[in-house]
Structure formats: C-alpha cells, structure tokens
Amino acid sequence: MMKNLLVTFTYYVCLLALITYSPMFVTSAKSNANQTSETEKLICEISLPSKVNVVGGWINGSLIIKNVSEESIRISALYSGSRHVWKGNYKENFSPDWWKTNMPEPEKFAEKIVTLSSNETFTIPFKIHYEYNAEFFRGQPLTISSGYRISQKFAEQYDTWTGSIEAKPVTVDAIE
C-alpha cells in the first residue's frame, strides 16, 4: 500500500514538473519514425523486439536518433532521463537541459557535443527496471515511449539543434 502511494505521488510530482517546465522547451521539430516532413531535421525510433526478454530484472532498449536533413546537426551526447511509469506504460524522455541531481559542469557538455552528418544516427541506450515495476507491468503488454529534446537556451549556449522529437510508442510482451 505504501509503495503504491509513493509511486502515485512520484508520478504526479513528475507530471507537475513536466507541465511546469514544458514552456522552456521550444518545439521546432516534432516527429516520430513514421512521419516526416521537409522541415524536420531529426527523427527518432525505439529499438526493441516485440517480445523482449527480462534479463536480471531489466529490459534493455534504445532510442535511435537520425539526422534526416542534408546538413550536419549538433546534439548533446550528455543527457539525463526523465522516467514516468504507470499501469502497462513506461516513458523516458532524454534532455541535456534537465537533471534531477548532480548537473554536470558546462565544460562537460561542451566536450560531449556530437555532430550527425546526413543520415547518421546516434543511439541512446536505456534500461527499464521491470522487476521493480512488475506490479505495473506483469501480465500485460508494455507500451514504451521515448523522446529527445534540447531547449533554445541550451542550443544557444552550445550551438546545437533545438527542438523536441518523439518516437512512435512500441508495445512489447515481456518474457520473464
């Protein structure tokens, strides 16, 4: 009972934080793997099989970011993840702008800027703690969603792309 209250409380605090800080993110490019337009420069997709093995209590996946423009694009390879878990769902958004604790020094960000040439990809691995969240996941398909964003302020400071992209959610069956 206490764990359910803690998880519910954490979910609402994260949701409130997301709503509170969302205006700081400028969405200049929004995408998913199945929809592109001429104005989009980056797209992303989640890489996971439809049946995924739980290994040591964890599910391993990745978010693949792809440059679909003709020009080179700079993004940050130093980022933090913001996780949200609820019944049958897992969402993780990655951003160099938001850190719950221990934000790196500015020079660390400068060292971790990568340049993606046209059609080049960058992979962000992620791990879902299935065992810890089994009460939300077990016995049903798990829908996973993810995205990547960089605010205008960060982009101006480090000369990077700015925007927000979202992958098309994937639904998997976890095999324990």
How does pLDDT run across 5-22, given as a tens digit for each residue? Answer: 444 444 444 433 433 333
Mean pLDDT on 62-77: 97
Mean pLDDT on 78-95: 92
pLDDT higher for 39 or 70?
A: 70
User: What tokens appear for 156 in the block?
Assistant: 């101006």
Mean pLDDT on 74-79: 96
User: What tokens appear for 75 in the block?
Assistant: 């993004």
Q: Look up residue 97 and give its amino acid.
A: D
Q: Which helix (H) or strand (E) holds 151?
A: none
pLDDT, one tens digit per residue, over 90-115 is 999 999 998 888 889 999 999 999 99
User: What tokens appear for 98 in the block?
Assistant: 């938001």
Q: Can you give the pTM of this predicted structure?
A: 0.76
CA dihedral angle for residue 152, residue 156, residue 157, residue 158, rounded to 10 degrees: 100
pLDDT, one tens digit per residue, over 101-158 is 888 999 999 999 999 999 999 999 999 998 888 888 888 899 999 999 999 999 999 9
